[in-house]
């Protein structure tokens, strides 16, 4: 009896004529043709939660794309920020700079391809235990973030398939004293995600520790990376706000 | 023929200088004003109100509607050659009399205006009025009263004066909220171990509980039958239902798994020696 490693589906575009089965860690996805112009979508995750959708289409086939997306949707979308707590502190002496790679949790988006547009169909997380919230700041005015404890990565090739991408952080300390950094909080909605096979890399961020008047501040900026990997579509919540035309009373 | 009709109408005097024709013109101005006000209100609701907060939309809608009505009324009075200065003086005296007679109504009106200006809570906020023992979702701050939908689905109307002068606890203004409960473990069990297993179960099975700040544990009391531990967890403000109601069952499950006893109240009775 063989004890082979499970084979998972790579990121990318899939054409569905009759049926398609995708396998990613802890999750099973099935798309079946159920009529002349209709497909069914079925997803079961590790918690046993099942999502089923019907997709009416104009043609007799559909295309879907599997791609990494920011880790903001599980267990529910509440914020656009992430809080990455490093597994070890980084010390920067005065007027110095450093580049590090860190792992960053990801989610996986399933997009329906409609012409040149990508429509958000569903999203999953393969590591629900690392999909938690954290608060940066005081309870009344702080920023709610998706929180994860992350380890340093050796480079862009160190991505953990389907679970963590790699993010490059450039840290610059322009202060006149050494500084210790053990976490970073930033809006991840500005960062693009890129994939190749089952690996993910993410636009980097540049952190500058500087002095403004008498206050030490941290400036965080997104740094786009140049790569030939495929850029992921932007995930958009498909629940839209509609205004029903009626009296306000 | 129509000119003759108009001529006749202009000659038909009702009172003093007031003729049937001028009254007709005044009526047309008023009717036009009301129609215009309704159209303006409708267009506002259709195109602009959905993009504004509900309170603002409602107040602006009233302002537009009654603003046009008042302008139409002024047009009507001027078309009739009515001198408003006398009415103003009489109105002033009348207002003082009415003001004394309807103090609570005026008080509610003024409180409503202050509530709209100060905005201690806005439409859709979950609030609690501890003085009155009321909590629920704020539906509306009206001219004289405010409406709150309680958690049991009923709607309660509170006069604005009472609402304005009472303590208002906002449950949605902060980014996060805290849920807490108390659990007792037996004296023979290790407190540190119990805290460790509870914390682990909470962090693994309650996805809406924040990891920063971490769940907090305080030994609250060395009770008659148990060591009472207070458990405090933070959660996103909108996810109270994913934390407080399931916190105790999560703790019990954790203690059951580890065989940690949650003791019943007990008494040790010593019999006196003969």
CATH number at residue B134: 2.30.30.60
In a domain, B231, yes or no: yes
Lowest mean pLDDT among A96-105, B35-44, B99-108, B179-188: B99-108
Q: Cα separation of B138 and B120, whole Å?
A: 11
For residue B87 the two structure tokens come to 């009415």
Q: Which residues of chain A neighbour B239 with C-beta distances below 8 Å? A: 76, 78
In a domain, B230, yes or no: yes
pLDDT reported for residue A128 = 83
Tell if the CB–CB gap between B176 and A139 is shorter than 8 Å: yes
Instruction: Output the CA torsion B45→B47→B48→B51 (10° steps).
Output: 110
Exposure b/e, B236-271, CB count within 10 A at least 16 = b: bbebbebbbebbeebbeebbeebebebbeeeeeeee
Q: Does A128 contact B at CB distance below 8 Å?
A: yes
Of the pLDDT bands very low, low, confident and very high (cuts 50, 70, 90), residue B269 is confident
Best-predicted range by mean pLDDT (A64-73, A127-136, B107-116): A64-73
Q: Does B210 contact A at CB distance below 8 Å?
A: yes
Which of B27, B53, B82 terminates a domain? The answer is B82
pTM: 0.77
CATH of the domain at B198: 3.30.70.100
Q: Is the ipTM of this complex over 0.95?
A: no
In this complex, the residue of A141, A143, A247 whose CB is nearest that of residue B45 is A247
Q: Cα separation of B70 and B37, whole Å?
A: 10
B20 with B63, same domain: the answer is: yes
Tell if the CB–CB gap between A248 and B54 is shorter than 8 Å: yes
In a domain, B51, yes or no: yes
In a domain, B212, yes or no: yes
pLDDT reported for residue A193 = 96
For residue B227 the two structure tokens come to 């060591």
B156 with B217, same domain: the answer is: no
Residue with the larger pLDDT of the pair B10 and A168:
A168
Tell if the CB–CB gap between A147 and B178 is shorter than 8 Å: no
Is the per-residue pLDDT at A78 higher than 90? yes
The pairing of beta strand A143-150 with beta strand A132-136: antiparallel
pLDDT reported for residue A245 = 52
Q: Cα separation of B78 and B81, whole Å?
A: 5
B129 with B181, same domain: the answer is: no
The three-class DSSP label of residue A189 is helix
Q: Does A74 contact B at CB distance below 8 Å?
A: yes
Q: Which residues of chain A neighbour B238 with C-beta distances below 8 Å? A: 78
Q: Which residues of chain A neighbour B175 with C-beta distances below 8 Å? A: 135, 137, 139-144
Q: How far is CA B114 from CA A88, B30, B78, in A?
A: 53, 32, 34
CA angle, B265 then B269 then B273, to 5°:
175
B133 with B66, same domain: the answer is: no
Is the per-residue pLDDT at A1 higher than 50? no
B129 with B77, same domain: the answer is: no
Of the pLDDT bands very low, low, confident and very high (cuts 50, 70, 90), residue B76 is confident
Taking residues A137-142, report their average pLDDT.
89
pLDDT reported for residue A207 = 92
In a domain, B49, yes or no: yes
B183 with B162, same domain: the answer is: no
Q: Which residues make Cβ contacts (< 8 Å) with residue B5, sequence separation at least 6?
A: none
pLDDT reported for residue B8 = 74
Comparing alpha-carbon positions, the chain A residue that sits nearest to B61 is A248
Taking residues B177-194, report their average pLDDT.
94
A-B CB pairs within 8 A amount to: 65
In a domain, B181, yes or no: yes
Is the per-residue pLDDT at A246 higher than 60? no
B157 with B223, same domain: the answer is: no
In this complex, the residue of A78, A129, A137 whose CB is nearest that of residue B236 is A78
Tell if the CB–CB gap between B212 and A140 is shorter than 8 Å: no
Q: Which residues make Cβ contacts (< 8 Å) with residue B273, sequence separation at least 6?
A: none
Of the pLDDT bands very low, low, confident and very high (cuts 50, 70, 90), residue B13 is confident
For residue A190 the two structure tokens come to 């500005």
Best-predicted range by mean pLDDT (B122-126, B180-184, B270-274): B180-184
In a domain, B91, yes or no: no
DSSP at B270: P
B225 neighbors B264 (Cβ within 8 angstroms) = yes
Taking residues A94-102, report their average pLDDT.
92
Taking residues A142-164, report their average pLDDT.
93
State pLDDT tens for residues B200-215: 999 999 999 999 999 9
A42 neighbors A34 (Cβ within 8 angstroms) = no
Q: Give the relative orientation of helices B103-118 and B84-101 as an angle to the nearest 10 degrees.
A: 100
B26 with B68, same domain: the answer is: yes
For residue B97 the two structure tokens come to 């009399």
The three-class DSSP label of residue B31 is helix
pLDDT reported for residue A242 = 54
Tell if the CB–CB gap between B176 and A144 is shorter than 8 Å: yes
B14 with B49, same domain: the answer is: yes
Q: Cα separation of A181 and A110, whole Å?
A: 35
Domain count, chain B: 3
List A residues 227-246 in contact with B (Cβ-Cβ < 8 A): 243, 245
Q: Does B232 contact A at CB distance below 8 Å?
A: no
Q: Which residues of chain B neighbour A84 with C-beta distances below 8 Å? A: none
B65 neighbors B41 (Cβ within 8 angstroms) = yes
Q: Cα separation of B209 and B41, whole Å?
A: 45
Which of B30, B58, B82 terminates a domain? The answer is B82
In a domain, B269, yes or no: no
- Residue B156: give the domain boundaries: 120-170
């Amino acid at each position: 009896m063989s004890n082979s490693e499970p084979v998972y589906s790579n990121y990318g575009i899939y054409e569905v004529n009759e049926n398609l089965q995708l396998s990613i860690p802890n999750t099973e996805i099935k798309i079946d043709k159920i009529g002349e112009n209709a497909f069914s979508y079925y997803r079961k995750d590790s918690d046993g939660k099942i999502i089923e959708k019907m997709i009416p289409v104009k043609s007799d086939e559909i295309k879907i794309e599997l791609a990494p997306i920011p880790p903001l949707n599980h267990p529910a979308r509440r914020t656009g920020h992430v809080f990455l707590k490093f597994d070890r502190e980084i010390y920067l002496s005065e007027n110095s700079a450093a580049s590090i790679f860190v792992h960053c949790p990801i989610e996986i988006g399933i997009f329906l391809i409609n012409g040149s547009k990508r429509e958000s169909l569903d999203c999953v997380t393969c590591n629900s235990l690392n999909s938690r919230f954290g608060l940066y700041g005081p309870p009344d005015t702080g920023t709610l973030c998706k929180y994860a404890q992350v380890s340093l990565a050796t480079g862009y090739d160190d991505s953990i398939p389907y679970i963590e991408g790699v993010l490059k952080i450039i840290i610059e300390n322009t202060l006149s004293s050494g500084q210790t950094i053990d976490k970073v909080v930033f809006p991840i909605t500005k960062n693009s995600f890129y994939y190749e096979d089952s690996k993910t890399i993410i636009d980097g961020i540049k952190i500058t520790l500087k002095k403004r008047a008498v206050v030490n501040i941290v400036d965080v900026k997104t740094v786009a990376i140049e790569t030939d990997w495929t850029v992921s579509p932007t995930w958009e919540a498909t629940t839209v706000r509609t205004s029903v035309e009626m009296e306000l009373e | 023929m129509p000119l003759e009709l108009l001529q006749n109408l202009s000659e038909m005097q009702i009172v003093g200088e007031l003729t049937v024709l001028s009254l007709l013109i005044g009526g047309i101005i008023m009717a036009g004003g009301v129609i215009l006000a309704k159209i303006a209100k409708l267009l506002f609701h259709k195109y602009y109100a959905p993009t504004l907060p509900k309170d603002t939309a409602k107040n602006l809608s009233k302002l537009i509607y009654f603003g046009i009505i008042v302008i139409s009324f002024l047009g009507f009075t001027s078309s009739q050659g009515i001198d408003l200065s006398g009415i103003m003086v009489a109105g002033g005296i009348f207002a003082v009399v009415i003001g004394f007679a309807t103090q609570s109504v005026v008080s509610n009106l003024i409180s409503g205006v202050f509530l709209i200006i100060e905005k201690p809570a806005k439409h859709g906020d979950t609030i609690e009025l501890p003085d009155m023992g009321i909590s629920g979702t704020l539906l509306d701050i009206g001219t004289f009263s405010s409406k709150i939908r309680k958690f049991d689905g009923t709607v309660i109307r509170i006069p604005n004066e009472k609402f304005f002068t009472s303590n208002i606890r906002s449950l949605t203004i902060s980014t996060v909220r805290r849920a807490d409960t108390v659990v007792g473990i037996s004296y023979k069990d290790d407190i540190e171990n119990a805290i460790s297993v509870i914390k682990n179960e909470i962090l693994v099975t309650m996805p809406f509980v924040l990891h920063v700040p971490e769940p907090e544990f305080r030994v609250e009391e060395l009770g008659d039958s148990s060591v009472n531990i207070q458990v405090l967890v933070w959660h996103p403000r909108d996810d109270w239902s994913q934390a407080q109601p399931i916190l105790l069952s999560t703790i019990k499950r954790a203690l059951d798994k580890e065989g940690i006893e949650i003791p019943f109240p007990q008494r040790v009775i010593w019999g006196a020696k003969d």
